[in-house]
A = this chain, B = another copy of it.
Amino acid sequence: MSKTIEVTELILRDAHQSLMATRMALEDMIPACEDLDNAGYWSLECWGGATYDACIRFLNEDPWERLRTFKKLLPRTPLQMLLRGQNLLGYRHYEDTVVDRFVEKAAENGMDIFRVFDALNDIRNVRRAIKAVKRAGKHAQGTICYTTSPVHTIGGLAELAEQLLDLGCDSICIKDMAALLKPKPAYDLVRAIKESCGEQTLVHVHVHATTGVTLVSLQKAIEAGADIVDTAISSMSLGPGHNPTESLVEMLEGTEYNTRLDKARLLKVKDHFAKIRPRYQEFLSNITGVETEIFESQIPGGMISNMESQLKQQGAADRIREVLAEVPHVRRDAGYPPLVTPSSQIVGTQAVFNVMMGRYKVMTGEFADLMLGYYGACIAPRDQEVVKAAIKHAKKDPVSRRPADLLKPEWDELRAAAIALNGCNGSDEDVLTHAMFPQVAPKFFATRHEGPRNLGKDPAAAKAAAASAPSAAPAAAAVPKGPVNYEVKFNGKAHRVTVTPA
């Protein structure tokens, strides 16, 4: 008897987030919805992650309206989102009642499956969101961020799965954001979870394709008993994205496993996005092939190009390999956090500073917070010398409590701040938008009436425009010798840092 492997399609969220900086306009997705909804997917990931931010920051689009539209156009297939636990979709911790409100509103607007994760795998940071999902009667998926280090073990990660199930999770996701999950640990981890949590435990495997090896990992995960896997339609797959849905279908055909996907529908979805993709040429990741060096640095594909551009701004593009080699040191000092938003940016940016200025001569506020426990707990102890430096830099004490416990009830204040804004419609949804993106929301509220912007361009026109633009600037001069000001962009916020060489 053949086992059906269920599939979550990522095209509407993580695929375009990973391949084209989350820029795809809703109108470019709508024509594919009927085929997506009838192809036989277990779920369609279509919201959360960076989509909310991108909607209001770049697309002048209300993310809640996007969610409602999906619900209307995808009535048969459960909708799925990615939620960063206590951070929601923003970049700080929110007080518990804000978390409750967000989950409630997302459920009300049509969300069915909530994949909840914490970048540090600190279970205290996902508990409240998971409880809220259960209260809303929706599917709570607890997430293990997959990483490797001298302190991470298969047994330890499986233990985390048990804790997530204790919180009431309906399924467990193994989230491999940097394509680090090789075939053998994929098998071993799924087996360990099934053995410690029970064979009936639903295990869902999310892998990226960056290292070229993770379709094999999916095969092995399936052999170990995984129930659901994530893929993206082939025309929006590979590179820093995901394995192609159609390849998974073919991989399993004729074996003791099968998918229930309709190939004719998939072909139509593929063709649609093959036409759309070239319209976003200017946003496409410049990583198109395979990168196996990230097994060492663990920096997700998208983040590498980010660091490259930070280095370029500082005239040091050629030092990327030094930075990649520095990342594991910074990670060890921080207690081996998994590298995923926001820890990947925090660790990556600090590695850039360490290489450029000397180790911990300059420290970002975020890295100091990470070292001081303000993002939560890591699996291993932090380096005490670096903690001391962080205390000095940030002028605050380390904490060991759950970060959100430091917050006072804030909903009324957040509400008051939002409704005072021009264009805010007074809804809880708008309050949440402003709460999560206080710097972006005011402009969005003010321009929302103009309607969504489609940043896609006719490829021929874009090509002509690019050709008439001046070619790449010559490499900047060597590393500066005197005091110098840097503007560091971090999570979309600009930081000014002045550095005087020692």
Contacts and interface: CB of A to CB of B under 8 A. Distances in A.
Contacts of A238: 212, 238, 289-290
A375 to B, nearest CB: 30
A477 interface: no
Nearest to A246: B292
A64 interface: no
A298 interface: no
A349 interface: no
A462 B215 CA distance: 35
Interface string A453-495: 0000000100110111001100000000000000000000000
A199 interface: no
Given A255-B183, A460-B472, A464-B467, A289 B247 contact: no
A213 B291 contact: no
Interface in A232-256: 234-235, 237-238, 243-244, 246-251, 253-255
Contacts of A244: 212, 289-290, 292
A293 interface: yes
A289 B212 contact: no
A474 to B, nearest CB: 12
Contact of A267 (B248, B289, B293, B464): B293
A433 interface: no
B184 A234 contact: no
A309 interface: no
Nearest to A219: B216
A63 B184 CA distance: 43
Which range contains the number of A residues in contact with the other chain? 35 or more
B467 A471 contact: no
Contacts of A255: 183-184
A463 B467 contact: yes
A58 interface: no
Interface in A247-294: 247-251, 253-255, 267, 288-293
A182 interface: yes
Given A460-B471, A460-B472, A184 B215 contact: no
Contacts of A215: 212-213, 215-216
A235 B289 contact: yes
A188 to B, nearest CB: 9
A215 B212 CA distance: 9
A398 interface: no
Contacts of A460: 471-472
A397 to B, nearest CB: 41
A295 interface: yes
A291 B237 CA distance: 11
A211 interface: yes
Nearest to A182: B250
B467 A247 contact: no
A237 B467 contact: no
A110 interface: no
A250 B295 CA distance: 9
Contacts of A466: 467
A438 interface: no
28 contacts: A182-B250, A183-B219, A184-B254, A185-B254, A212-B215, A212-B234, A212-B244, A213-B215, A213-B248, A213-B250, A213-B251, A215-B215, A215-B216, A216-B216, A234-B292, A237-B289, A237-B290, A238-B238, A238-B289, A244-B290, A247-B292, A249-B292, A250-B295, A267-B293, A460-B471, A460-B472, A466-B467, A467-B468
Q: What 7 pairs between A and B have smallest CB-CB spacing?
A: A467-B467, A212-B247, A246-B292, A234-B290, A213-B247, A244-B290, A212-B244
